[in-house]
Amino acid sequence: MPENSTDEMFLTLPQAAERLQVSVQTMGRYVRSGRVRAVKLGRDWRVPVRSLHELANSASQSVASTSTGAPRLGKAPRKAP
């Protein structure tokens, strides 16, 4: 538990990937693209837990905005032969 508000918990890429239920490679792509904040310590990346919460919140807001009845863009689902 952080002692004060300036302390922040950090996870390794594998730990962060496990929390989001994605692969380590996907987590690395999220970090490289800037979708998830991270800091590099030597050869290793550390992901702030807060950054995972921010990603989850933005994803839930995105889902909420697409469920408002607005038309979705993209390919139509394939029909089985």
The answer to the question of residue 65 being in a domain is: no
State percent of the chain over pLDDT 90. 57
63: in domain? no
Q: Which two tokens stand for residue 45?
A: 């990346």
Which residues of the chain are modeled with pLDDT < 50?
A: none
Whether 45 maps to a domain, the answer reads yes
44-48 and 10-12 strand pairing: antiparallel
Residue 80 is assigned to a structural domain of this protein: no
Please indicate, yes or no, if residue 28 is contained in any of the structural domains. Answer: yes
pTM: predicted TM-score of the whole model, two decimal places: 0.65
pLDDT recorded at residue 66 = 55
Domain that holds residue 35: 10-57
Side chain identity, residue 31: V
